Amino acid sequence: MTTEDGIDRATALREAARTEPETIDVDDVVDLLVRGDRETRRTAFDAYETLTTVRPAAVDSAVARLERHLVDDDADVRRRAALTTGALVETDPDSFARLVPELRTVGADSTEPGREPAIAALSKLAFERPTAVVPAVDTLLEICDESVTLPDDPSIERGVPAVESDSEASLKQERELRDQLRVHAIAALTLVAAEDASALRGSVSSVSDLLEDDHTHVRAAACEVLEAVAIEFPGDVVPFAPELAERAVSDGKHPVPWRAADALVGLEVEFPEKVGDAVAPVVGGLSRFLDSKDADRRRIGVTLVVDAAVAQPETIEPVVPTLRELLADDDAAVRTKAALALGFADVGSARPALVELAETDPDEPVRNAADRALERLERTEDDAE
């Protein structure tokens, strides 16, 4: 079929969809979407939208036709079918979910021309129906770890940068496209983990490797996946608490530190001492949370400091001055945990502020925390005598 024939056929189908939709074989429309040129596909898409609006059952036939194309012997047909699926999946995600096995097969093969379109289609489906793509979690995760490596920057002599070659420019473009796909894939996995954390349990180690990725959004989303798993299955994630702690205190790109800290807080409910051990060596870096104007971040920071104070009391010395200031914080939860941290760390110099807090704070949990801190200080002093 020539380009002109394809456009003519798509135009005729579009008109029939408006006037005689019951006469259309949806396979014809799908074949044009898969095999046609850009203008043909655009016109066929209009026909598809019109037809499925008045004949919703036609969607199932369209999906069945795409299912056949996705297993076609011709690799280019599979690629085009994956592209078409990606373009249509959001129109009826429940129907297109049946294509997950075929998309996974195409997306899992690094030699497949349709690999990236298949992964893009799976990612789009995940945004609509996260649990539908659970069988393809491994495929989505694999692409996340496959960034395109650029050569070292050319040396600059006399302040004049070297001219970028066509091949270098092409490689940069390839990397940008791959990074877009990786970001979509890891974002899809955050949605899957939020809906069904068990789907990522077996992949925690691979996800943790992404904490070192050079793309900010990939690192941040990896933290989100780990947080979701940590809430449901903390024992699977706790071995990676040190890596999360390092991200929380040293990563300079928003929102990675906050996401990493959230994951640690998810862990500390069941494993406060292990989180404390992970945080203790880098506790000084938690100042970025303790000094924040955002109350949620201060709460997170002081929660982690409490864990460090319980596990290794001597390590929190760098943040003791800040903790004293936080005893007067506007947020009751921050005051409560600042008092606990000072008590666990046996900071005797905080006694006057803790006494005042125990006697005058309007919130009972704060007063109770201050009393507990004072009791610990008294026991320490008694033991010393």
**pLDDT for residue 353:** 94
Which residue, among 302, 278, 282, has the nearest Cα to 291 in the 3D structure?
A: 302
Strand, coil or helix: 113: coil
Whole-model pTM: value is 0.90
Per-residue pLDDT tens digits for 328-371: 999 999 999 999 999 999 888 899 999 999 999 999 999 999 99
* Across 212-219, average pLDDT: 97
Give 259-276 pLDDT, tens digit per residue.
999 999 999 999 999 999
Q: How confident is the model over 118-162, as pLDDT tens digits? A: 999 999 999 999 999 999 999 999 999 998 877 765 443 444 455
Tens of pLDDT, residue by residue over 280-302, are 999 999 999 999 999 999 999 99
pLDDT band at 49 (very low <50, low <70, confident <90, very high): very high
Q: Look at phi and psi of residue 87 and say left if phi exceeds 0, alpha if psi is from -120 to 50, else beta.
A: alpha
Q: What is the DSSP string of 326-376?
A: HTT-SSHHHHHHHHHHHHHTT-GGGHHHHHHHHHH-S-HHHHHHHHHHHHH
Which residues have CB under 8 Å from 146's CB, separation 6+?
Answer: 178, 182
